[in-house]
Structure 1
Protein backbone atom coordinates (compact mmCIF):
# COMPACT_ATOMS: atom_id res chain seq x y z
CA UNK A 1 0.00 0.00 0.00
CA UNK A 2 1.23 3.52 -0.77
CA UNK A 3 2.35 5.76 2.04
CA UNK A 4 0.19 8.90 2.32
CA UNK A 5 3.18 10.90 1.04
CA UNK A 6 3.50 8.92 -2.19
CA UNK A 7 2.82 11.13 -5.26
CA UNK A 8 0.05 8.81 -6.47
CA UNK A 9 -1.63 8.46 -3.06
CA UNK A 10 -3.89 11.52 -3.62
CA UNK A 11 -3.65 12.05 0.13
CA UNK A 12 -4.10 15.87 0.05
CA UNK A 13 -7.63 15.38 -1.29
CA UNK A 14 -10.86 14.31 0.37
CA UNK A 15 -12.22 12.60 -2.77
CA UNK A 16 -9.87 10.29 -4.68
CA UNK A 17 -10.20 8.14 -7.79
CA UNK A 18 -8.29 5.08 -9.05
CA UNK A 19 -8.63 1.84 -10.99
CA UNK A 20 -8.60 -1.75 -9.74
CA UNK A 21 -6.84 -3.36 -6.81
CA UNK A 22 -3.47 -1.91 -7.81
CA UNK A 23 -4.99 1.55 -7.89
CA UNK A 24 -6.63 1.03 -4.52
CA UNK A 25 -3.23 0.06 -3.10
CA UNK A 26 -1.69 3.25 -4.50
CA UNK A 27 -4.19 5.48 -2.72
CA UNK A 28 -3.78 6.69 0.84
CA UNK A 29 -6.14 4.81 3.18
CA UNK A 30 -9.64 6.31 3.06
CA UNK A 31 -12.49 6.25 5.53
CA UNK A 32 -14.91 5.13 2.81
CA UNK A 33 -14.22 3.08 -0.33
CA UNK A 34 -16.82 3.06 -3.10
CA UNK A 35 -16.47 0.12 -5.50
CA UNK A 36 -17.72 0.82 -9.04
CA UNK A 37 -18.22 -2.07 -11.46
CA UNK A 38 -21.17 -0.95 -13.56
CA UNK A 39 -21.40 -3.94 -15.93
CA UNK A 40 -22.39 -6.04 -14.15
CA UNK A 41 -21.38 -6.44 -10.52
CA UNK A 42 -22.44 -3.06 -9.10
CA UNK A 43 -25.75 -3.05 -10.89
CA UNK A 44 -26.65 -6.65 -10.04
CA UNK A 45 -25.83 -6.10 -6.35
CA UNK A 46 -27.78 -2.83 -6.24
CA UNK A 47 -30.84 -4.48 -7.79
CA UNK A 48 -30.62 -7.48 -5.47
CA UNK A 49 -30.44 -5.24 -2.41
CA UNK A 50 -33.39 -3.25 -3.81
CA UNK A 51 -35.34 -6.51 -3.59
CA UNK A 52 -34.36 -6.89 0.05
CA UNK A 53 -31.72 -9.54 -0.59
CA UNK A 54 -28.25 -9.89 0.94
CA UNK A 55 -25.48 -10.61 -1.56
CA UNK A 56 -22.67 -12.83 -0.30
CA UNK A 57 -19.29 -12.45 -1.97
CA UNK A 58 -18.82 -16.06 -3.01
CA UNK A 59 -18.20 -18.10 -6.13
CA UNK A 60 -21.43 -16.83 -7.68
CA UNK A 61 -20.32 -13.23 -7.21
CA UNK A 62 -16.92 -14.00 -8.73
CA UNK A 63 -18.66 -15.51 -11.73
CA UNK A 64 -20.25 -12.10 -12.33
CA UNK A 65 -17.06 -10.09 -11.73
CA UNK A 66 -13.68 -11.31 -10.55
CA UNK A 67 -12.25 -7.80 -10.53
CA UNK A 68 -15.18 -6.15 -8.76
CA UNK A 69 -15.10 -8.72 -5.97
CA UNK A 70 -11.31 -8.37 -5.72
CA UNK A 71 -11.56 -4.61 -5.17
CA UNK A 72 -14.27 -5.05 -2.54
CA UNK A 73 -12.23 -7.71 -0.72
CA UNK A 74 -9.08 -5.57 -0.77
CA UNK A 75 -10.84 -2.47 0.55
CA UNK A 76 -10.90 -1.44 4.20
CA UNK A 77 -13.02 0.98 6.16
CA UNK A 78 -16.64 1.44 5.13
CA UNK A 79 -17.08 -0.26 1.75
CA UNK A 80 -20.01 0.81 -0.43
CA UNK A 81 -21.14 -0.41 -3.85
CA UNK A 82 -21.91 2.31 -6.35
CA UNK A 83 -22.68 2.94 -9.98
CA UNK A 84 -24.77 5.09 -12.28
CA UNK A 85 -27.95 3.59 -10.89
CA UNK A 86 -27.41 4.86 -7.32
CA UNK A 87 -24.86 7.68 -7.65
CA UNK A 88 -26.89 10.30 -5.77
CA UNK A 89 -27.80 7.78 -3.07
CA UNK A 90 -24.13 6.91 -2.55
CA UNK A 91 -23.28 10.60 -2.18
CA UNK A 92 -26.07 10.91 0.37
CA UNK A 93 -24.73 7.93 2.30
CA UNK A 94 -21.24 9.44 2.34
CA UNK A 95 -22.62 12.73 3.62
CA UNK A 96 -24.63 10.91 6.31
CA UNK A 97 -21.53 9.02 7.41
CA UNK A 98 -19.52 12.24 7.57
CA UNK A 99 -22.22 13.84 9.71
CA UNK A 100 -22.29 10.77 11.96
CA UNK A 101 -18.52 10.93 12.39
CA UNK A 102 -18.54 14.68 12.98
CA UNK A 103 -15.38 15.21 10.96
CA UNK A 104 -14.12 15.38 7.39
CA UNK A 105 -14.37 11.92 5.87
CA UNK A 106 -12.11 10.78 3.03
CA UNK A 107 -13.57 8.86 0.08
CA UNK A 108 -11.80 6.60 -2.43
CA UNK A 109 -13.88 5.88 -5.51
CA UNK A 110 -12.37 2.84 -7.22
CA UNK A 111 -13.42 1.75 -10.69
CA UNK A 112 -13.03 -1.99 -11.14
CA UNK A 113 -12.37 -1.94 -14.89
CA UNK A 114 -12.51 -5.12 -16.95
CA UNK A 115 -10.05 -7.97 -17.27
CA UNK A 116 -8.74 -8.81 -20.74
CA UNK A 117 -9.40 -12.49 -19.89
CA UNK A 118 -10.30 -14.59 -16.88
CA UNK A 119 -6.85 -16.10 -16.73
CA UNK A 120 -4.46 -15.38 -13.89
CA UNK A 121 -2.24 -12.42 -14.72
CA UNK A 122 -4.79 -10.89 -17.09
CA UNK A 123 -4.42 -7.14 -17.56
CA UNK A 124 -6.96 -4.56 -16.50
CA UNK A 125 -8.83 -2.92 -19.37
CA UNK A 126 -10.22 0.62 -19.24
CA UNK A 127 -14.01 0.38 -19.04
CA UNK A 128 -15.84 3.56 -19.99
CA UNK A 129 -18.95 2.52 -18.06
CA UNK A 130 -16.93 2.46 -14.84
CA UNK A 131 -15.45 5.87 -15.61
CA UNK A 132 -18.98 7.23 -16.00
CA UNK A 133 -20.20 5.45 -12.86
CA UNK A 134 -17.34 6.81 -10.78
CA UNK A 135 -17.76 10.25 -12.31
CA UNK A 136 -21.48 10.27 -11.50
CA UNK A 137 -20.73 9.54 -7.84
CA UNK A 138 -17.95 12.14 -7.63
CA UNK A 139 -20.19 14.73 -9.29
CA UNK A 140 -22.99 13.93 -6.83
CA UNK A 141 -20.56 14.31 -3.93
CA UNK A 142 -19.53 17.72 -5.25
CA UNK A 143 -23.18 18.74 -5.51
CA UNK A 144 -23.44 18.03 -1.76
CA UNK A 145 -20.37 20.09 -0.90
CA UNK A 146 -17.88 17.22 -0.71
CA UNK A 147 -15.82 18.68 -3.51
CA UNK A 148 -12.18 18.70 -2.44
CA UNK A 149 -11.38 16.28 -5.24
CA UNK A 150 -8.08 15.13 -6.70
CA UNK A 151 -7.44 16.02 -10.35
CA UNK A 152 -8.13 12.37 -11.21
CA UNK A 153 -11.49 12.49 -9.45
CA UNK A 154 -12.42 15.87 -10.91
CA UNK A 155 -11.67 14.62 -14.43
CA UNK A 156 -13.94 11.60 -13.93
CA UNK A 157 -16.78 13.87 -12.75
CA UNK A 158 -16.41 16.15 -15.75
CA UNK A 159 -16.37 13.17 -18.11
CA UNK A 160 -19.82 12.27 -16.78
CA UNK A 161 -21.57 15.64 -16.41
CA UNK A 162 -21.97 16.70 -20.09
CA UNK A 163 -22.91 13.17 -21.15
CA UNK A 164 -25.36 12.38 -18.37
CA UNK A 165 -28.34 12.26 -20.70
CA UNK A 166 -26.66 9.81 -23.09
CA UNK A 167 -25.74 7.04 -20.66
CA UNK A 168 -28.14 4.46 -22.07
CA UNK A 169 -26.79 4.89 -25.60
CA UNK A 170 -23.16 5.11 -24.51
CA UNK A 171 -23.27 1.98 -22.37
CA UNK A 172 -25.09 -0.01 -25.02
CA UNK A 173 -22.59 1.09 -27.68
CA UNK A 174 -19.49 0.55 -25.52
CA UNK A 175 -17.28 -2.52 -25.80
CA UNK A 176 -18.66 -3.93 -22.57
CA UNK A 177 -22.22 -3.23 -23.65
CA UNK A 178 -21.72 -4.90 -27.02
CA UNK A 179 -20.22 -7.89 -25.23
CA UNK A 180 -23.49 -8.09 -23.28
CA UNK A 181 -25.72 -7.68 -26.33
CA UNK A 182 -27.80 -10.66 -25.17
CA UNK A 183 -28.36 -8.91 -21.81
CA UNK A 184 -29.43 -5.52 -23.13
CA UNK A 185 -32.09 -5.11 -20.43
CA UNK A 186 -29.37 -5.39 -17.79
CA UNK A 187 -27.27 -2.79 -19.60
CA UNK A 188 -30.22 -0.41 -19.77
CA UNK A 189 -30.92 -0.92 -16.05
CA UNK A 190 -27.28 -0.22 -15.23
CA UNK A 191 -27.40 2.98 -17.29
CA UNK A 192 -30.45 4.39 -15.47
CA UNK A 193 -28.88 7.28 -13.57
CA UNK A 194 -30.22 7.66 -10.02
CA UNK A 195 -32.98 5.10 -10.55
CA UNK A 196 -32.24 3.59 -7.14
CA UNK A 197 -32.10 5.00 -3.61
CA UNK A 198 -30.41 1.86 -2.27
CA UNK A 199 -26.72 1.78 -1.29
CA UNK A 200 -25.20 -1.66 -0.66
CA UNK A 201 -22.64 -1.75 2.17
CA UNK A 202 -20.23 -4.62 2.76
CA UNK A 203 -20.55 -6.18 6.21
CA UNK A 204 -19.22 -9.59 7.18
CA UNK A 205 -18.51 -10.65 3.61
CA UNK A 206 -21.95 -9.73 2.25
CA UNK A 207 -23.65 -6.65 0.84
CA UNK A 208 -26.76 -5.35 2.55
CA UNK A 209 -28.61 -2.04 2.54
CA UNK A 210 -26.80 0.91 4.11
CA UNK A 211 -28.65 2.51 7.00
CA UNK A 212 -27.66 6.07 7.92
CA UNK A 213 -26.41 6.41 11.48
CA UNK A 214 -25.19 2.81 11.69
CA UNK A 215 -21.41 2.57 12.22
Structure 2
Protein backbone atom coordinates (compact mmCIF):
# COMPACT_ATOMS: atom_id res chain seq x y z
CA UNK A 1 0.00 0.00 0.00
CA UNK A 2 2.94 2.36 0.63
CA UNK A 3 3.67 2.54 -3.12
CA UNK A 4 0.15 3.86 -3.73
CA UNK A 5 0.93 7.05 -1.84
CA UNK A 6 4.29 7.94 -3.42
CA UNK A 7 2.78 9.38 -6.63
CA UNK A 8 5.35 7.19 -8.39
CA UNK A 9 6.06 7.74 -12.06
CA UNK A 10 5.51 11.48 -11.93
CA UNK A 11 8.30 14.06 -12.02
CA UNK A 12 6.64 16.62 -9.73
CA UNK A 13 4.61 15.52 -6.73
CA UNK A 14 2.73 17.31 -3.95
CA UNK A 15 2.23 16.32 -0.34
CA UNK A 16 1.41 17.95 3.00
CA UNK A 17 3.28 18.32 6.26
CA UNK A 18 6.08 16.49 7.98
CA UNK A 19 4.54 13.06 7.44
CA UNK A 20 4.21 13.71 3.71
CA UNK A 21 7.84 14.81 3.56
CA UNK A 22 9.02 11.72 5.43
CA UNK A 23 7.07 9.45 3.08
CA UNK A 24 8.23 11.04 -0.17
CA UNK A 25 11.80 12.09 0.68
CA UNK A 26 13.34 8.61 0.18
CA UNK A 27 11.73 8.35 -3.27
CA UNK A 28 12.67 11.72 -4.81
CA UNK A 29 15.78 13.58 -5.95
CA UNK A 30 14.82 16.95 -4.43
CA UNK A 31 12.39 18.24 -1.84
CA UNK A 32 10.83 21.71 -1.81
CA UNK A 33 9.38 23.07 1.44
CA UNK A 34 6.63 25.71 1.25
CA UNK A 35 5.67 27.52 4.47
CA UNK A 36 4.52 30.94 3.29
CA UNK A 37 3.50 32.34 6.71
CA UNK A 38 6.28 32.54 7.53
CA UNK A 39 9.28 30.14 7.64
CA UNK A 40 10.20 29.92 3.96
CA UNK A 41 9.40 33.59 3.36
CA UNK A 42 11.78 34.41 6.21
CA UNK A 43 14.45 32.08 4.82
CA UNK A 44 14.19 33.84 1.47
CA UNK A 45 14.46 37.30 3.03
CA UNK A 46 17.52 36.18 5.00
CA UNK A 47 19.14 34.47 2.00
CA UNK A 48 18.85 37.72 0.06
CA UNK A 49 20.90 39.36 2.83
CA UNK A 50 23.53 36.62 2.80
CA UNK A 51 22.51 34.99 6.09
CA UNK A 52 22.89 31.22 6.47
CA UNK A 53 19.69 29.88 8.07
CA UNK A 54 19.76 26.76 10.24
CA UNK A 55 16.36 25.07 10.54
CA UNK A 56 15.41 23.90 14.00
CA UNK A 57 12.22 22.07 15.04
CA UNK A 58 12.41 23.13 18.71
CA UNK A 59 11.34 26.33 20.43
CA UNK A 60 12.87 25.68 23.84
CA UNK A 61 16.21 25.50 25.61
CA UNK A 62 17.37 22.93 23.07
CA UNK A 63 17.16 25.61 20.37
CA UNK A 64 19.47 27.90 22.36
CA UNK A 65 21.93 25.05 22.84
CA UNK A 66 21.72 24.26 19.12
CA UNK A 67 22.47 27.90 18.22
CA UNK A 68 25.43 28.11 20.58
CA UNK A 69 26.82 24.84 19.26
CA UNK A 70 26.69 26.14 15.69
CA UNK A 71 27.98 29.66 16.31
CA UNK A 72 24.66 31.20 15.32
CA UNK A 73 22.19 33.75 16.62
CA UNK A 74 18.76 32.47 17.68
CA UNK A 75 15.45 33.80 16.42
CA UNK A 76 12.74 34.24 19.06
CA UNK A 77 8.95 34.44 18.96
CA UNK A 78 7.33 37.36 17.15
CA UNK A 79 6.36 39.02 20.43
CA UNK A 80 9.64 38.27 22.18
CA UNK A 81 12.04 40.44 20.15
CA UNK A 82 14.28 42.86 22.01
CA UNK A 83 17.38 44.93 21.38
CA UNK A 84 19.47 41.91 22.35
CA UNK A 85 17.40 39.46 20.30
CA UNK A 86 15.91 41.33 17.31
CA UNK A 87 15.46 38.27 15.07
CA UNK A 88 12.19 36.37 14.88
CA UNK A 89 10.03 34.40 12.44
CA UNK A 90 8.61 37.74 11.29
CA UNK A 91 9.94 38.72 7.83
CA UNK A 92 9.33 42.37 8.70
CA UNK A 93 11.42 42.09 11.87
CA UNK A 94 14.16 40.30 9.95
CA UNK A 95 14.37 43.12 7.44
CA UNK A 96 14.88 45.62 10.25
CA UNK A 97 17.22 43.49 12.36
CA UNK A 98 21.02 43.75 12.15
CA UNK A 99 22.77 41.37 9.78
CA UNK A 100 23.56 37.97 11.30
CA UNK A 101 25.96 35.67 9.40
CA UNK A 102 24.22 32.58 10.84
CA UNK A 103 20.75 32.36 12.34
CA UNK A 104 18.81 29.48 13.88
CA UNK A 105 15.16 29.84 12.85
CA UNK A 106 12.83 27.59 14.90
CA UNK A 107 9.47 26.72 13.38
CA UNK A 108 7.12 23.82 14.13
CA UNK A 109 6.15 23.49 10.46
CA UNK A 110 8.58 24.45 7.68
CA UNK A 111 11.68 24.30 9.84
CA UNK A 112 10.72 20.94 11.33
CA UNK A 113 10.04 19.53 7.85
CA UNK A 114 13.41 20.78 6.60
CA UNK A 115 15.23 19.24 9.54
CA UNK A 116 13.35 15.94 9.15
CA UNK A 117 14.20 15.67 5.44
CA UNK A 118 17.92 16.27 5.93
CA UNK A 119 18.86 12.65 6.80
CA UNK A 120 17.67 11.44 3.40
CA UNK A 121 20.48 13.29 1.64
CA UNK A 122 18.35 15.02 -0.99
CA UNK A 123 18.59 18.76 -1.70
CA UNK A 124 16.00 20.70 0.30
CA UNK A 125 14.82 24.03 -1.16
CA UNK A 126 12.83 26.76 0.62
CA UNK A 127 10.07 28.25 -1.55
CA UNK A 128 7.43 30.89 -0.97
CA UNK A 129 5.19 33.18 -2.97
CA UNK A 130 8.07 35.67 -3.20
CA UNK A 131 10.54 33.28 -4.84
CA UNK A 132 8.33 30.43 -6.07
CA UNK A 133 8.76 31.36 -9.72
CA UNK A 134 12.55 31.46 -9.32
CA UNK A 135 12.52 28.10 -7.53
CA UNK A 136 10.48 26.47 -10.30
CA UNK A 137 12.88 27.71 -12.97
CA UNK A 138 15.87 26.59 -10.89
CA UNK A 139 14.43 23.10 -10.49
CA UNK A 140 13.99 22.76 -14.24
CA UNK A 141 17.47 24.12 -14.93
CA UNK A 142 18.95 21.53 -12.55
CA UNK A 143 17.05 18.72 -14.26
CA UNK A 144 14.75 18.14 -11.29
CA UNK A 145 11.13 17.37 -12.03
CA UNK A 146 11.60 14.58 -14.56
CA UNK A 147 10.26 11.10 -13.73
CA UNK A 148 13.86 9.92 -13.31
CA UNK A 149 14.71 12.89 -11.02
CA UNK A 150 11.43 13.58 -9.23
CA UNK A 151 10.66 16.50 -6.94
CA UNK A 152 8.40 16.45 -3.89
CA UNK A 153 6.81 19.83 -3.19
CA UNK A 154 5.71 19.84 0.45
CA UNK A 155 3.03 22.30 1.51
CA UNK A 156 3.71 22.67 5.22
CA UNK A 157 0.26 23.64 6.43
CA UNK A 158 -0.47 24.75 9.98
CA UNK A 159 -1.53 23.00 13.18
CA UNK A 160 -4.85 22.70 14.93
CA UNK A 161 -4.71 23.02 18.75
CA UNK A 162 -4.62 19.21 19.03
CA UNK A 163 -1.49 19.10 16.88
CA UNK A 164 -3.13 17.69 13.77
CA UNK A 165 -2.40 19.13 10.33
CA UNK A 166 -4.48 22.06 9.10
CA UNK A 167 -4.06 22.41 5.31
CA UNK A 168 -3.40 26.09 4.61
CA UNK A 169 -4.43 28.00 1.49
CA UNK A 170 -1.28 30.13 1.43
CA UNK A 171 0.92 27.04 1.24
CA UNK A 172 -1.25 25.46 -1.47
CA UNK A 173 -0.85 28.66 -3.51
CA UNK A 174 2.91 28.78 -2.91
CA UNK A 175 3.29 25.15 -3.92
CA UNK A 176 1.13 25.77 -6.98
CA UNK A 177 3.37 28.66 -8.04
CA UNK A 178 6.49 26.50 -7.82
CA UNK A 179 4.86 23.69 -9.78
CA UNK A 180 3.42 26.00 -12.45
CA UNK A 181 6.80 27.68 -12.90
CA UNK A 182 8.63 24.35 -13.27
CA UNK A 183 6.00 23.17 -15.74
CA UNK A 184 6.33 26.36 -17.77
CA UNK A 185 10.09 25.72 -17.88
CA UNK A 186 9.49 22.30 -19.44
CA UNK A 187 8.91 19.91 -16.52
CA UNK A 188 5.37 18.83 -17.32
CA UNK A 189 5.22 15.40 -15.63
CA UNK A 190 2.85 16.36 -12.81
CA UNK A 191 1.00 14.06 -10.46
CA UNK A 192 -2.73 14.81 -10.20
CA UNK A 193 -2.07 16.37 -6.79
CA UNK A 194 0.64 18.63 -8.18
CA UNK A 195 -1.42 19.58 -11.24
CA UNK A 196 -4.36 20.51 -9.01
CA UNK A 197 -2.16 22.83 -6.92
CA UNK A 198 -0.89 24.55 -10.07
CA UNK A 199 -4.48 24.94 -11.26
CA UNK A 200 -5.52 26.53 -7.96
CA UNK A 201 -2.71 29.06 -8.24
CA UNK A 202 -3.57 29.86 -11.86
CA UNK A 203 -7.26 30.26 -11.02
CA UNK A 204 -6.67 32.68 -8.11
CA UNK A 205 -7.14 36.13 -9.60
CA UNK A 206 -5.68 38.06 -6.63
CA UNK A 207 -3.26 35.89 -4.67
CA UNK A 208 -2.34 38.64 -2.21
CA UNK A 209 -5.99 39.32 -1.37
CA UNK A 210 -6.68 35.60 -0.96
CA UNK A 211 -3.79 35.19 1.49
CA UNK A 212 -4.80 38.27 3.49
CA UNK A 213 -8.37 36.98 3.78
CA UNK A 214 -7.60 33.31 4.48
CA UNK A 215 -7.46 31.88 8.00
CA UNK A 216 -3.69 32.17 8.44
CA UNK A 217 -3.55 35.67 6.98
CA UNK A 218 -6.36 36.89 9.20
CA UNK A 219 -4.62 35.41 12.24
CA UNK A 220 -1.47 37.42 11.56
CA UNK A 221 -3.28 40.62 10.61
CA UNK A 222 -5.54 40.47 13.65
CA UNK A 223 -2.50 39.66 15.78
CA UNK A 224 -0.79 42.89 14.74
CA UNK A 225 1.50 41.61 11.99
CA UNK A 226 -0.05 42.79 8.71
CA UNK A 227 3.41 43.69 7.35
CA UNK A 228 4.41 40.03 7.49
CA UNK A 229 1.47 39.13 5.26
CA UNK A 230 2.32 41.98 2.88
CA UNK A 231 5.93 40.79 2.54
CA UNK A 232 4.85 37.17 2.10
CA UNK A 233 2.63 38.15 -0.85
CA UNK A 234 5.28 40.08 -2.81
CA UNK A 235 4.94 37.75 -5.79
CA UNK A 236 8.14 37.52 -7.81
CA UNK A 237 10.09 39.89 -5.55
CA UNK A 238 12.52 37.22 -4.39
CA UNK A 239 15.08 35.72 -6.74
CA UNK A 240 17.21 33.86 -4.18
CA UNK A 241 16.83 30.07 -4.18
CA UNK A 242 17.78 28.88 -0.66
CA UNK A 243 19.15 25.34 -0.63
CA UNK A 244 19.93 23.37 2.53
CA UNK A 245 23.67 22.57 2.51
CA UNK A 246 25.72 21.37 5.46
CA UNK A 247 22.78 22.02 7.77
CA UNK A 248 22.04 25.59 6.64
CA UNK A 249 19.99 27.28 3.92
CA UNK A 250 22.11 29.48 1.66
CA UNK A 251 21.32 31.00 -1.72
CA UNK A 252 22.07 28.71 -4.66
Q: TM-score, normalised by structure 2?
A: 0.75
Give, in angstroms, the shift of residue 103 of structure 1. Answer: 9.3
Give, in angstroms, the shift of residue 26 of structure 1. Answer: 3.1
After TM superposition, list the pairs within 5 Å mapping 1:24-39 onto structure 2: 24-27=21-24, 29-39=27-37
1:80 counterpart residue number = 125
4+ aligned runs moved over 6 Å, structure 1 = none
Give, in angstroms, the shift of residue 96 of structure 1. Answer: 2.5
CA displacement, residues 120-148 of structure 1 (integer Å, 9 cap, x when unaligned): x6101010000000001000011011010
- Range with greater deviation from structure 2 (134-143 or 22-31): 22-31
Whether the 8 Å CA contact 2:168–2:216 is kept in 1: the answer is yes
Query: CA–CA distance in 2 between the matches of 1:95 and 1:138?
Result: 10
CA displacement, residues 164-198 of structure 1 (integer Å, 9 cap, x when unaligned): x4111111111111111111111111112111110
1:213 counterpart residue number = none
Residues 1:92 and 2:133 are matched in the alignment: no
Give aligned pairs, total.
201
Query: CA–CA distance in 2 between the matches of 1:103 and 1:96?
Result: 15
Instruction: Calculate the aligned-residue CA RMSD, in Å.
Output: 2.1
Give, in angstroms, the shift of residue 200 of structure 1. Answer: 0.6
Give, in angstroms, the shift of residue 73 of structure 1. Answer: 1.4
Aligned with 2:150 (options 103, 106, 125): 106
Aligned with 2:209 (options 159, 169, 177): 169
Structure with more of its chain in helix, by fraction: 1
Which segments of 5 or more consecutive residues in structure 2 lack a partner in the other structure?
A: 57-62, 64-73, 78-88, 90-106
- Range with greater deviation from structure 2 (86-95 or 130-139): 86-95
Query: CA–CA distance in 2 between the matches of 1:73 and 1:62?
Result: 18
After TM superposition, list the pairs within 5 Å mapping 1:1-215 onto structure 2: 6-27=3-24, 29-58=27-56, 59=63, 60=74, 64=89, 65-75=107-117, 76=120, 77-98=122-143, 104-117=148-161, 122-163=163-204, 165-181=205-221, 182-210=224-252
Which segments of 5 or more consecutive residues in structure 1 lack a partner in the other structure?
A: 211-215
Q: TM-score, normalised by structure 1?
A: 0.87
Query: CA–CA distance in 2 between the matches of 1:68 and 1:49?
Result: 16
